[in-house]
Structure 1
Amino acid sequence: MKSVAFHNLGCKVNGYEMDYMLQALQEKGYTIVPFDGRADIYIINTCTVTNIADRKSRQMLHRAKRLNPESVVVAVGCYVQAGGEEALKDMSIDLAIGNNKKKDLIPILEEFLTNRENRKDKTLKGRTMTDIGKTDEYEAMELQRTAEHTRAFIKIQDGCNQFCSYCIIPYVRGRIRSRGQEEILHEVRRLSANGYREVVLTGIHLSSYGITGGNDFSTSKLSGLVLRLQQEEGIERIRLGSLEPRIITEEFVRTLSECGKLCPHFHLSLQSGCDRVLERMNRKYSTKEYYEKVCFLRKYFDDPAITTDVIVGFPGETMEDFEETKGFLEKVGFYEMHIFKYSKRQGTPAAIMDGQIKEADKALRSNELLGLEKELSARYRQAHLHKQTEILFEEEKKINGRIYQVGHTKEYIRAAYETQENLSGQIVKGVLTKMLMSDILLFQPQIH
């Protein structure tokens, strides 16, 4: 059987889909080999969220073809979906598979290989692309195992209706569509039976789960799904992926607070702390509304971890706008912030906006917020010292020459316990005693 190497780029949804494709290849009998070596087939699950992501996708495709010029290089996903015919001019790409066709990787690949062999034509090209903007079909996939050993990411939703002015994703992922609840429960039970203790619900726009159209988040079925997962005996933790701030109402948060398995860790994408910039981004909420959502979470959960994304240097962002954003981030007091320099993405409204910011200015603003992020993150971790908590252990790690078992609290604080006993997959109660490293706290198990 032919050998296959794979490489994944991009988001957690891409990661889930890559795990599914890998699982399908293994079940079919293909030999999986490391990407850096020689393979018969290379599969690159591409990303196109920024121009930088496009460049990384191209680099990996070219690298694969250099590793074995006689190989079949398969470009899957967002980069080829966005690039269309232009992307397919790349001579490194032999076969392109668009979004919503990843589940059909095996039959598409094998038909291509058969045609190529029959024609004895090594330059044969293939592509299976759909008009993603017109599909309302949810691409059915189900995993038995994932790349992680104790935590499983589960894709429950695809597509986005938001059309933020900087984002290409609605054009390459299509409109919102959701997975059936019974299918999700079936996958959760299989993963639980295989030893997974925590599930992370993820999607392109997770808050749109169960919505049939539009942006009325009061019709989302996400909280109902969490309530149903709460009843599953084998799963100990439920974690949510990135949330749309507008889904956070007092009723929504009150419902979630009744689920003891839900991790008090909420990623609310912000992007800017300045109302003028938010409007240009087409984000559809104000900083006042966003802060109200944060207050709801802190009302019903004890010191929850609140994390976010921030874009600096968006077109038209003045220094006054930037300072306003910085002040708002300090006011909220996030646990972690992912700071991104605005990257122009062709095909989006923001790419042709006036007031494009120089790269040097973006870098200065980014560095300033990265410094703030470290400060706020350290403050949150220190506030959890000497508190009772529990760790889901995930891996063994050597720190300063000593062996530790490392895992995360429900708030996603990373912690370590010095022992050579394999605790992977176990949930242990105890106390965080001190800072071991800048991003790892020392854990002491509770003695009965």
Structure 2
Amino acid sequence: MKRAAFYTLGCKVNQYETEAISEMFEKAGYEIVDFEQEADVYVINTCTVTNLSDRKSRQMIRRAKKTNPDSVVIVVGCYAQTAPEEVSEIEGVNMVVGTKDRSKILEYLEELEASGGRKNYVGDIMKTREFEELGVDVYKERTRAFIKIQEGCSQFCTYCIIPYARGPVRSRSEENILKEVAGLAQSGYKEIVLTGIHVASYGKDIKTTSLVDIIRKVHEIDGIERIRLGSIEPTTVTEDFVEAVKGLHKLCPQFHISLQSGCDSTLKRMNRKYTAKEYLRSVKLLRDNLKDVAVTTDIMVGFPGETDEEFKETYRFLEEVFFSRMHVFKYSRRKGTPAASYPDQVSPQKKEERSRMLIELASRMTLKYNQSFIGRVLPVLFEQEVKEKEGFMEGLTPNYIRVECQGDKDIEGKILDVLLKETKDDFIIGEVVS
């Protein structure tokens, strides 16, 4: 039996797509093995959000060939899409497939094995208008299932390469989403995460549905107890949106609303489509209407032209909004994006200093948010054993607080009531009460 191994860099969408490709190989009779093991085929699903992700992709390609010099190395994903020639020239690469036609990967592999050499199957993603079906029947992770409902992005933020890597917005049909969710519910999955490259755009291209419509329909599926949303835009959170979702008890009260900067002049240079004031209004709408709501975000430091005063403005705004979690990252210059040629690029030292300040702020906010729930009983979906901590399991509350409890593996995949007792770093120690 031939063996295949997979490695994923980047976002939840990439993880979903790797699961789908892995399943295709499994159905074709391949044994799926760990990436560190010897395999006949290695598939590396790449990311290109930062220069670091490009470099990591190249490292994994070399590692695969070192493990088995006779293997076939297939490189897919965003880095492959935006720099196919560069990827093709990396020693050890046999095939390059971008962010479309992944469903034909086994067919391409047959062609390669028949003719040898190197193959580049990357096409023009900007002309693609159809959503490519890559469904998943069974996840390796047993408690939460990610469902890709949307592909592409048409926002064109000035720092971002993703619209060029993923192409225009394409929404998946309701029928296929609901069929996949129903299958996963029958397999015992309790939580569904609706994800995509720009989830907020779901339905914009097909007009007959919307993000709220698909949330409602997933909500009706028996067996699914939690629905979580991937990252959305502040412009998504309108009075109509909040009114529509506040009665949906399965929808987790945790919203990841991308911010990037709390300073209007920086937001304008980024080509973000909202102001800090509008962002705050969206957060207030959620907090006024949903109990225990958690707002999480992404924040970028060191965007070209970001002055000390602009950074301070962002810092003050973050304190005002008060997030339960923040993902802080440094601006990375991406060739082919408008911001790459902007003047006043911020020095690495300045980026590092600002990043450190925001990471410290994020830690304080998470701790304060978690402390506000001490003494409460909340339901926790237990996901896995705690690494290096025997006899402990961990999971998430609906509002995305990570909780650790004493317990055996038999509670994995179950939702149990937990008394939240003590804060530790960015999680809470709890005790199962049901």
Structure 2 residue aligned with 1:229: 218
**1:85 & 1:7 partners in 2: Cα distance?**
21
Which letter does structure 2 place at the counterpart of 1:331?
E
**2:21 & 2:262 partners in 1: Cα distance?**
39
Confirm or deny that 1:17 pairs with 2:17. yes
Confirm or deny that 1:415 pairs with 2:403. yes
Which letter does structure 2 place at the counterpart of 1:13?
V
Post-superposition CA distance 1:356-384 (Å, at most 9, x none): 01101100000000000000000010111
**2:274 & 2:268 partners in 1: Cα distance?**
8
- The answer as to whether partners of 1:392 and 1:408 remain within 8 angstroms in 2 is yes
- Distance 1:335-1:348 versus aligned 2 partners, 3 A rule: same
Structure 2 residue aligned with 1:39: 39
Confirm or deny that 1:364 pairs with 2:353. yes
**1:382 & 1:325 partners in 2: Cα distance?**
25
- Distance 1:43-1:402 versus aligned 2 partners, 3 A rule: closer
- The answer as to whether partners of 2:84 and 2:120 remain within 8 angstroms in 1 is no
Confirm or deny that 1:278 pairs with 2:267. yes
- Distance 1:282-1:361 versus aligned 2 partners, 3 A rule: same
**2:43 & 2:171 partners in 1: Cα distance?**
26
Structure 2 residue aligned with 1:350: 339
**1:371 & 1:220 partners in 2: Cα distance?**
41
Once superposed, what is the RMSD of the aligned Cα atoms? 1.5
Which letter does structure 1 place at the counterpart of 2:65?
K
- Distance 1:14-1:384 versus aligned 2 partners, 3 A rule: same
1:220 Cα offset (Å) = 6.7
Unaligned runs of at least 5 residues, structure 1: 117-123
1:128 Cα offset (Å) = 1.2
Structure 1 residue aligned with 2:61: 61
Q: Using structure 1 for the length normalisation, give the TM-score.
A: 0.94
Q: Using structure 2 for the length normalisation, give the TM-score.
A: 0.97
- The counterpart of 1:180, out of the listed 173, 184, 207, is 173
- Distance 1:219-1:274 versus aligned 2 partners, 3 A rule: farther
Which letter does structure 2 place at the counterpart of 1:420?
D
Structure 1 residue aligned with 2:90: 90
Structure 2 residue aligned with 1:146: 139
Structure 1 residue aligned with 2:381: 392
- Distance 1:332-1:219 versus aligned 2 partners, 3 A rule: farther
1:67 Cα offset (Å) = 2.0
Which letter does structure 2 place at the counterpart of 1:396?
E
- The counterpart of 1:197, out of the listed 172, 190, 198, is 190
Which letter does structure 1 place at the counterpart of 2:39?
A
**1:376 & 1:8 partners in 2: Cα distance?**
30
1:322 Cα offset (Å) = 0.5
**2:139 & 2:121 partners in 1: Cα distance?**
26
Post-superposition CA distance 1:126-163 (Å, at most 9, x none): 12122100010100121111131110000000000000
1:86 Cα offset (Å) = 3.1
Structure 2 residue aligned with 1:337: 326
- Distance 1:190-1:316 versus aligned 2 partners, 3 A rule: same
- The answer as to whether partners of 1:393 and 1:426 remain within 8 angstroms in 2 is yes
1:206 Cα offset (Å) = 0.1
- The counterpart of 1:290, out of the listed 271, 276, 279, is 279
1:5 Cα offset (Å) = 1.5
Name the SS of the counterpart of 2:306 in structure 1.
coil
Post-superposition CA distance 1:224-267 (Å, at most 9, x none): 11111111111000000000111110110111111010000000
Structure 1 residue aligned with 2:306: 317
1:421 Cα offset (Å) = 5.8
1:406 Cα offset (Å) = 1.5
Post-superposition CA distance 1:367-407 (Å, at most 9, x none): 000000000000010111112310111112266x5512211
- The answer as to whether partners of 1:405 and 1:422 remain within 8 angstroms in 2 is no
Name the SS of the counterpart of 1:422 in structure 2.
helix
Post-superposition CA distance 1:329-380 (Å, at most 9, x none): 0000001000001111111001110000110110000000000000000001
**1:430 & 1:368 partners in 2: Cα distance?**
33
Structure 1 residue aligned with 2:291: 302
- The counterpart of 1:434, out of the listed 413, 416, 422, is 422
| Structure 1 moving runs of 4+ over 4 Å | none
Unaligned runs of at least 5 residues, structure 2: none
- Distance 1:272-1:191 versus aligned 2 partners, 3 A rule: same
Structure 2 residue aligned with 1:165: 158
Which stretch of structure 1 is more off in the superposition, 89-98 or 309-318? 89-98
Structure 2 residue aligned with 1:245: 234
Name the SS of the counterpart of 2:303 in structure 1.
coil
**2:144 & 2:264 partners in 1: Cα distance?**
37
Post-superposition CA distance 1:304-328 (Å, at most 9, x none): 1100001100000000000000000
Which letter does structure 2 place at the counterpart of 1:126?
K
- The counterpart of 1:156, out of the listed 146, 149, 158, is 149
**2:343 & 2:377 partners in 1: Cα distance?**
52
